[in-house]
Amino acid sequence: MDHQFIGSNIFGEVSRVRKCDIWQHIESSRNSVQKRIETQESHTGIEVLFEPGKYKDNSRNRSFSNEVHPLVIFDEITSEIGIPVRWEHVNIMLDVAAKLLHLEEVDFHHRLYLSVLTANSETDSLLEKTFSRIQLARISNDDCEKLIEWCIKAISFWTEKLSSNSRVCKATALTKARVLVEILARLSVRASPAKAKQIFRLAMTWGHERVFRHIWLRNSLKHLINYSLNSVPSSAQGELLLDALKFPLSPELELSDQTNSFEWPNPVIRGKLERIDSSELDHRIDQIIDQVQPNSDISRFGLERLLPLLQCNYLKDSEKEKIRNQIWGHNTAVKSLPKTGLLNWVTLELPSYDPNALRTKFKEYVFDTEATDFFDSTRLLDIINCRHVSISPSHEEALKCFDVLIGWSSQVEGADELDFFKTNDDSFIGQYISEALSRCIVPALRNDDLNESNYHKVISFVRETQFKQALLSLPYFAQTNVTLEDNLEKILRQFLHSSDTEGVSNAAFAILEWRKLYRCKSNENLIATLITMITLNRESSAVSVLWSINELLQSKYLLDHQVSLLKEVIPTLFDNSNYNIERRTLNELANVSLLRAEVVKLARALNDFSSHSELERVISEAQVDPLPEVRFAAFYSGKT
């Protein structure tokens, strides 16, 4: 042992003297890429100088070097010499590959290669950086098409290794496959509608293969299904219905594959659909209905696919009758709400023997303030969604619910003043309460209960809990008490001018809600403020403001001079909301495609009122935008 140890030391020393020690080269590679990153960072941002009003723009700095690029060195070590980036569970050059992804001059093809080498899963932060939506928007269509084909071939390679008796480590093959499927999912947002359909159908095919049922691949497969489907216009998604229906339901998987079954994807096609004569389609719908079981949570998987078909009257009467029998059995009397695995309000959308008795039973349940689980998230979500099934509480029920819900903030505050034992569910519960108040409870209060005292209770709730969606309930109080208008205008204006994006958004929604109820000087002043905010180009909150303005325009609540001003501003806002990463904050980067989509929708609506050459240019450019949400917005018309 001593002789071997001495011999290895002598060999290592000789290697270093002759400059062929591989560890020395790896360390040199690390230093080279780190130096390159530091040089890149020194060329970004601005440097504020001592004299007021003066700064140095580092982005204009240029440097020249005759050193070999670290990517070339990395390629020589890994490809030419054959040193692995990772050997089993030992990372040899993984940190070098990860740092190379920070260099802006590395092209997208090499970024894809490096990402596959380094990423461990679909949630790896390296994928978020390299394959972000904005990064994908900046690459050419030709490059995207090549990368998509490359990914499909690479996925086939690794899944074949998994299904065959190869000597490749199973964990390695699974890791490569899950990363590649995630990359393909993200690239699919750049695919043409025809290519997106092809990718979606490929994902449907993979769902039938045992390899893709592994828990490591389920999340990536779900993303591939959702992202590719979202790249197909809603008017063309009906072509994919049979493929989606044939995708195996979670209960149809073998028992060994049902681990964490709720993570198994469940593709759902929505929108307007026309029934065609197809025995294969009829048979598959019948199979899905068979998966609906009486009073069973497992029914949710089948019902999620069937519900959109029920809503657009796609199903035959015999199929509706079979769904009713599967849910209720032979019990025609409605004694309780059936368990379906879905929210209880959805039950009202499903076939039943006595719809009126079912609605009565649902109302008894959802507005029961005496229930010990009244603040359960499921019940609160049912209250929020009552409007979708035309359910409203009586005046007495509304007042009881108001008093109980509005008192939640004081319960939380008194429970633990130091916030040590506050559960993670409190933020969701508070959000749901806020929405339940504004969407269902306050609109149902009688005029006597829409008084100044209750008005200030809502304001206190917002201030204490910071759940600002309750702001949408305040206009109902002003409608019955005009003396509150000035105060409401002041409150909403404060939120509009705040730096809190959520506050700005809900204030904009509240202004729209107020104007829908009635017109007054205060809400007209606030609408003028919304228009001014768009001209100031406040991008961080502009998505909600633009949506609200579009709704006001569709309802013909805007004045002529406001419409004219928007026509002048919108083209500039569209041009400024590009995918130039260097100019944007993180918040703006997250919303820029949504901002462009709302700008295009508003441009389309304005142009429908009276044509304008610049608005037509915006619509024309949007039709070939890299991202689907912007492209589809160009075909938006009317209210959604």
Residues 406 and 583: their CA atoms lie apart, in Å, by 43
Gyration radius (Cα) of the chain, Å: 30
CA 343 to chain centre: 21
Report in angstroms the alpha-carbon separations of 277 from 197, 236, 274, 314: 22, 18, 10, 12
Beta carbons within 10 angstroms of residue 85's beta carbon = 18
Widest pairwise Cα distance in the chain: 97
Burial (CB count within 10 angstroms: exposed 0-12, middle 13-18, buried 19+), residue 20 = exposed
Burial (CB count within 10 angstroms: exposed 0-12, middle 13-18, buried 19+), residue 208 = exposed
Residues 531 and 143: their CA atoms lie apart, in Å, by 40
Q: How many Cα atoms within 13 Å fall on the side-chain side of residue 412?
A: 21
pLDDT one-digit tens code per residue, 13-37: 544 555 567 777 788 788 888 888 7
Q: List all residues 6 or more positions away from 164 whose beta carbon is below 8 Å from its beta carbon.
A: none
Q: Tell me the Ramachandran region of residue 169: left when phi exceeds 0, alpha when psi lies from -120 to 50, beta otherwise.
A: beta
Q: How many Cα atoms within 13 Å fall on the side-chain side of residue 383?
A: 34
What is the sign, positive or negative, of the torsion defined by CA atoms of 145, 146, 149, 152?
negative
Residues 208 and 217: their CA atoms lie apart, in Å, by 13
For 63, the token pair is 């440097």
State residue 635's pLDDT score.
84
- The SS3 of residue 565 is helix
- Looking up tokens 């993984």 gives 94
- Looking up tokens 């309930």 gives 473
Q: Side chain identity at 476, as an amino acid letter? A: Y
Low-confidence ranges of the chain (pLDDT < 70): 1-20, 42-51, 53-66, 88, 255-262, 409-426, 536-541, 581-589, 636-640
pLDDT one-digit tens code per residue, 193-202: 999 999 999 9
- The SS3 of residue 46 is strand
State residue 201's pLDDT score.
98
For 11, the token pair is 């060999």
Between CA 321 and CA 327, with CA 322 as vertex, the angle to 5 degrees is 100
For 330, the token pair is 């032979």
Q: Side chain identity at 215, as an amino acid letter? A: I
Q: Side chain identity at 490, as an amino acid letter? A: K
**CA end-to-end distance (rounded Å), the chain:** 77
Q: At 352, give phi and psi (nearest 5°).
A: -145, 165
Beta carbons within 10 angstroms of residue 197's beta carbon = 20
For 364, the token pair is 């008894």
Q: Strands, DSSP E only, in 27-76? A: 46-48, 55-57
For 236, the token pair is 């063309």
For 274, the token pair is 């026309």
For 588, the token pair is 């703006």
Residues 214 and 178: their CA atoms lie apart, in Å, by 10
Residues 356 and 191: their CA atoms lie apart, in Å, by 47
- The SS3 of residue 456 is helix
Answer whether 362's CB lies under 8 Å from 355's CB.
no
- The SS3 of residue 45 is coil
Residues 221 and 229: their CA atoms lie apart, in Å, by 12
For 351, the token pair is 């076939």
- Looking up tokens 């202004």 gives 511
What letters, b where the CB count within 10 A reaches 16 and e where it falls short, cover 69-84? bbbebbeebbeeeebe
CA 168 to chain centre: 35
Residues 147 and 467: their CA atoms lie apart, in Å, by 43
Q: List all residues 6 or more positions away from 556 whose beta carbon is below 8 Å from its beta carbon.
A: none
For 296, the token pair is 């069973």
- Residue in 285, 259, 183, 194 with CA at minimum distance from that of residue 224: 183
